[in-house]
Structure 1
């Protein structure tokens, strides 16, 4: 059933946890869920008083909650709630889930968007050339955090039939059959695909749906200013560095994918599957902020990885 960009009010009464909502895709997911009417707990490690190891002090969970609440006030009635949580600390996660239970008595949507490891990956290095402590930290950030959060949250999520668990990664199941250099990144981004498939089986008797979702080439804050030295307003200038950047998408696109999934009464049809923002846009009818619908993973496979000149015609 086609959707619009606004699932206004369709998630009223629903409670969501977006784990890893400080910036980028996680922030957009929190905003779009609030826009659709959900109460959203937005967690992360960077607050206005403390900066995480990622080192981006200008992006905080408090700002995410404020943006989400503003979106909810304008359209769907949702509210954003900021909670400082290190999702590698099981006791902090247990306290978070206990708070959600105490304040809301339910959890309907869990989004595991936990990462924060790009600065440690060591792109271009072989395993034995890379600092071992950094390699293990990448796996902690990209895998252990997801496992800890799901283990703590699933008793509440599965209490009512119809719960939705979204594991977020970089890449589809098809693209992750290939090596995603380097090894630590490959493992960290392949694991959520397996987690979603496994948890779809483990939670089936509770009426829970578990999926894995990837954005396309995400124009996150770090991607824009650190890698391409542009802003969202002049992002196309980044195509001078890499012409394939033309297929990129804003975080709002994958945020709208999450809201569309959460508002779909037949979301169980996706159980255990690997999904992408571009693929879901074709099903639900939402668009990116500029009205386009970039199908990045199809483009990457058919154009960029195939060695063809950059041309997004027919892909957005």
Structure 2
């Protein structure tokens, strides 16, 4: 297509109207996902070193999937995040959960590395059924206007949050659409509805997360003719390794942080959003969500899974109705 060409408008029937609500009839309970629900399925969790990516990889493994886990931190080599978690640790957790974890060091800003990764998956597995774009790993300057922020840091944020997703989709989707029923999950922070009404405390962070939500919408139009589905998915207040460390707690003792951060009571483990992805992956009617912005708490109500403590935290409803209006912390009715 030349620079002066006007692209044909996509068929609006391929993506549900954003105001429509798909059938939310519950399916059989899926918490925890164990056994072989996803046996024979191949997933790529791009950015699976820690946090949501690790939680997703492990829960896909618990459902029997083969999971390629990519990231920059491996062995003694660390990304700019300078954290100790590695892709090999995540792959081992996938194995322990009952799946097959395959760790591959990849910088998703380097097209040749991503191309080689997809060629490897094709050669070893012959198919790709699920792509989870969870790449992030950026330094954020909070509470600074665009003119007060470091331009280098801000643009690096956009490259790590946006370019990586686009590069990975460019190379991975031709393999994914070879098998009907493929699923792409664009991981972000905040639903479309929440982000449209809420400044996300940094120009560059706000822009990055809005862009990823829009990516899922665009991919939905492009994938639907091939029988594939794309969604944006956000966890709630995630108890990532970094978040736990910041609050001086562990996953076993996370409730101790509520004393100094009362709203932390709505937080959720990485397993929760992992179970959301696994539930989507095994749903034969997943196309009902095509192009939608979803949350772990929302999907828990539909698919019946829970967090590891047996609760169903609904963080984005809580933030809107309790935290943001400045009300006292009270998770009654929200988990």
Please confirm whether the aligned pair reaches a TM-score higher than 0.5, indicating the same fold: yes
Q: Quick check: 1:114–1:146 contact (8 Å CA) kept in 2?
A: yes
- Counterpart of 1:138 in structure 2 is 157
Are 1:61 and 2:61 counterparts?
Answer: no
2:209 to 160, 176, 189: 189
Distance in 2 (CA, whole Å) between partners of 1:294 and 1:179 is 23
Q: Secondary structure of 1:127's partner? A: coil
Of residues 125, 133, 153 in structure 2, which corresponds to 1:104? 125
Q: Please, which runs of 5 or more residues in structure 1 have no aligned partner?
A: 73-77
Does residue 278 (structure 1) correspond to residue 305 (structure 2)? The answer is no
Q: Report the counterpart of residue 134 of structure 2 in structure 1.
A: 113
- Distance in 1 (alpha carbons) for counterparts of 2:183 and 2:104: 21
**What is the distance in 2 between the residues matched to 1:124 and 1:259?**
35
CA RMSD of aligned residues (A): 0.8
Contact 1:179–1:186 (8 Å) recurs in 2: yes
Q: What is the DSSP-based 3-state SS (H/G/I as helix, E as strand, rest coil) of the residue aligned with 2:309?
A: coil
Q: 1:3 aligns with which of 29, 34, 39?
A: 29
CA deviation after TM superposition for structure 1 residue 107, in Å: 0.2
Rounded Cα–Cα distance in structure 1 between residues aligned with 2:203 and 2:29: 38
Query: What stretches of structure 2 of length at least 5 have no aligned partner?
Result: 1-26
Is 1:85 aligned with 2:106? yes
Kept after mapping to 2: 8 A contact 1:3/1:260: no
In the TM superposition, residue 7 of structure 1 has moved relative to its aligned partner by 4.7
- Structure richer in helix, relative to its length: 1
- In the other structure, the counterpart of 1:41 is 68
> Please, what TM-score do these two structures have when normalized by structure 1?
0.96
How far 1:52 moved relative to its partner?
0.6
Aligned residues: 307
Equivalent position of 1:214 in the other structure? 234
Structure 1 CA distance for aligned equivalents of residues 28 and 128 of structure 2: 26
